[in-house]
Structure 1
């Protein structure tokens, strides 16, 4: 299984400077240079998804018009959301200066930091993200062992990729190939027989299970050590301009999490609207315990450290670093 090259390429991409995102250090609304906390500015947030919409706790806050008031003490007057298909693409935008904040899976963030990306970790938005492996309906593998010599697809550079590699390594299984496909393309590839199996996040997995695709492994049940987390990252240059931002963001996350858990049905309805999955799938895969009450928890940091250690051992993170030193000053209390 040739996965090292793919992660090396992803690490290189993390430091690329795409010409299309050249408005470095400028307000997304006006084009003017970003000011300090006393100067109102538009906060540019990058997330994984489609349609340039915020999801999760911060998306719900925005939908009920509470996000801007909570972020206003840091000088935020408006929010502009940019969505990316996967983490390495988001990394390119972040390192180019086209984003102020990024919330995405831990694996691409760790890979980018390992290449020397100048960023700070200010929170973990979700802890215990699930994933699993689904196979084609006819003649597909019935177990991890039967993935040997088969074609498996995953959205490379994601926390699901890390889970897949860990699960395959534990089972001592070597597929014919581990291919890169976006989550949205997996069903067609399975249906046409282009791949034998796919590793997917929980919602995509359950949506395919409901259509009759066999599921042969689930991280939360079979490999809980490989559950993912999402992290919120800000460039050092942004924190230099807005030193009070960390506490304001963390307070918004606390307040948003409390609001979501107090209005769970409303949050599920919001998640259906922005995620595009059927209500039963959203209800089954949206888990209260994955939304931490605090920006950092013991479980979240343990999963993050475990993922980093795996990536270092496999050579995907070339330069080891301390999670504690990555966390922004003052972010842990």
Structure 2
């Protein structure tokens, strides 16, 4: 997608795709920046000139010498439940739902505390196969990934046609900060690369994503903590929904806030402090203490 866009913008430009296997690809997902670190190291070593990332995989702390130089227009940020028939509300008690995301399990558990969660790994096809074969009663995936693979356009004629897709609103399952956003990272001083990719930059996606990541950064938990944030343009500038939850969903705080497109980071941080005043920081600290071996 990016390769074609750049070649269309700059006829004759030679764009080579370099595939880099990351720690996350090797299953080492507990490492901070597991899906991006090796790519960033290649960028710093001048082995590549532009790095393509899923924004939600990037730690909120910037890497010295690197810059997020273009935010691509956001795809559909919703999560979707996929099952062999029933939707979330009608799944029988004790149903097994597959997801590896604490953010998703905590929000689903808040409304369905009678289901069972089981880790889900592998590519999309592997996950679908496990659902079809009965290892799970339902799984939860990002809708953007299915759309980028072209599956949603022809679902009824695909090999997964017997499965039912149940997209959930951003209010029902608040997306991860930066979900469905692809970004292009460059070396900070590489003016030529930055200029080449600048036409791909989508300023509204950038503003909304930066607000979401500022909200996340204020809690200091990264993707290991059940935190959701989603911003979109509205008549006030942009509006944002955010949530913080305990892994079992029993503690769940959610709110909404409007802000100016001129100061997205400030708005995200202020929104975090607002929820923090209702106990959100305590929820996050308890989760981190448990994760790090302390007593929550």
TM-score, normalized by length of structure 1?
Answer: 0.47
Is 1:176 aligned to residue 107 of structure 2? no
Confirm or deny that 1:123 pairs with 2:70.
yes
1:27-77 alpha-carbon deviations (Å, 9 max, x no partner): xxxxxxxxxxxxxxxxxxxxxxxxxxxx2xx34425xx42445xx9xxxx5
Q: 1:197: which partner in 2?
A: 138
Q: Deviations over 1:176-233 (max 9, x none)?
A: 3222232121221111111221122323674796313233442457435558232424
Q: Quick one: distance in 1 between partners of 2:142 and 2:132?
A: 18
CA distance in 2, matches of 1:208, 1:193: 23
> Is 1:299 the equivalent of 2:183?
no
| Counterparts of residues 138-149 of structure 1 (less than 5 Å) | 142-143=87-88, 146=91, 149=94
- State the alpha-carbon separation in 2 of the partners of residues 125 and 162 from structure 1: 26
The residue number in structure 2 matching 1:94 is 39
Counterparts in 2 of 1:315 and 1:83: CA distance versus 1, 3 Å: same
Alpha carbons 1:151, 1:176 under 8 Å: kept: yes
Cα 1:212–1:163 change in 2 (3 A) is farther
- Matched-pair contact (CA < 8 Å) for 1:144–1:217: no
The answer as to 2:44 corresponding to 1:103 is no
Instruction: Indicate if the aligned counterparts of 1:135 and 1:214 stay in contact, CA closer than 8 A.
Output: yes
- Show the counterpart of 1:135: 83
Residue ranges of structure 2 left out of the alignment (5+ in a row): 26-34, 227-263, 267-296
| Coordinate RMSD, CA, aligned | 4.2
The equivalent position to 1:218 in structure 2, one of 168, 173, 176, is 168
Distance 1:216 1:185, change over 3 A: same
Pairing 1:66–2:2 present: no
Cα distance in 2, alignment partners of residues 133 and 68 from structure 1? 40
* Structure-2 change in CA distance of 1:178 and 1:212 (3 Å): same
The aligned runs of 1:233-244 (5 Å cut-off) are 233-234=184-185, 238-240=187-189, 242-244=190-192
**Distance (Å, rounded) in 1 between the aligned partners of 2:218 and 2:166:** 26
Residue from 213, 229, 235 that aligns with 2:180: 229
Secondary structure at the counterpart of residue 129 of structure 2:
helix
Q: 1:122 to 1:198 in 2, by over 3 A?
A: same
Match of 2:200 in 1: 253
Which residue matches 1:257?
A: none
Deviation of 1:249 after TM superposition, in Å, equals: 1.7
The gaps in structure 1 that reach 5 residues or longer are 1-54, 255-291, 318-322, 326-333
Higher relative contact order (CA 8 A, sep 6+): 1
Shift of the alpha carbon at 1:124? 1.8
In the other structure, the counterpart of 2:288 is: none
Deviations 1:162-183 (A, max 9, x none): 7624632543646332222321
- What is the aligned residue count? 203
Whether 2:187 is the aligned partner of 1:312: answer: no
Bigger proportion of residues as helix? 1
Alpha-carbon separation, structure 1, partners of 2:37 and 2:70: 20
The two structures have a TM-score, normalised by structure 2, of 0.52
